[in-house]
Amino acid sequence: MNTSLKDKWVFITGASAGFGAEGARHFARAGANVVMGARRVERLETVAAECEQAGAASAHFHELDVACTKSVNIFVDWLKTLTPKLDVLVNNAGGAHGADTVAEGKDADWEAMVQSNFLGLMRVTRACLPLMVDNPGSTLINIGSIAGRVAYEGGSVYCGVKAAEKSITQSLRLELNGTGIRVGTLDPGLAETEFALVRFKGDAAKSNKIYEGLDPLVAEDIAEAMIWMATRPPHVCIDEILIKCTAQAAIHKTHRVAD
Ligand X SMILES: NC(=O)c1ccc[n+]([C@@H]2O[C@H](COP(=O)([O-])OP(=O)(O)OC[C@H]3O[C@@H](n4cnc5c(N)ncnc54)[C@H](OP(=O)(O)O)[C@@H]3O)[C@@H](O)[C@H]2O)c1
Q: Which of 190, 229, 230, 245 binds ligand X (CB under 6 A)?
A: 190
| Secondary structure (3-state) at 72 | helix
CA-to-CA distance for 234 and 130, rounded, in angstroms? Answer: 19
Question: Which amino acid, 118?
Answer: F
Q: Which of 159, 191, 223, 251 binds ligand X (CB under 6 A)?
A: 191
Nearer to ligand X, 45 or 133 (CB): 45
- Nearest approach in angstroms of CB 195 to ligand X is 3
Quote the distance between the C-alpha of residue 169 and its chain's center: 13
Q: Which of 193, 225, 230, 248 binds ligand X (CB under 6 A)?
A: 193
Q: Which of 9, 27, 75, 195 binds ligand X (CB under 6 A)?
A: 195
Nearer to ligand X, 3 or 91 (CB): 91
- Nearest approach in angstroms of CB 67 to ligand X is 4
Q: Does 38 bind ligand X (CB under 6 A)?
A: yes
| Secondary structure (3-state) at 105 | coil
Q: What are phi and psi of 88, to 5 degrees?
A: -140, 130
Max intra-chain CA distance, the chain: 55
> What are residue 91's DSSP bridge partners?
142
Measure the CA dihedral 230/242/95/212, to 10°.
-130
CA-to-CA distance for 108 and 86, rounded, in angstroms? Answer: 34
Q: Does 188 bind ligand X (CB under 6 A)?
A: yes
| Secondary structure (3-state) at 67 | coil
Nearer to ligand X, 3 or 36 (CB): 36
Question: Among the candidate windows 39-47, 73-81, 177-185, 243-251, which touches ligand X by CB under 6 A?
Answer: 39-47
Q: Which of 93, 99, 131, 140 binds ligand X (CB under 6 A)?
A: 93
Active site residues: 158
DSSP code for 116: I
Q: Does 94 bind ligand X (CB under 6 A)?
A: yes
Where do contacts with ligand X occur on this chain (CB under 6 A)? Answer: 13-20, 38-40, 43, 64-67, 92-95, 116-117, 120, 143, 145, 188, 190-191, 193-195, 198
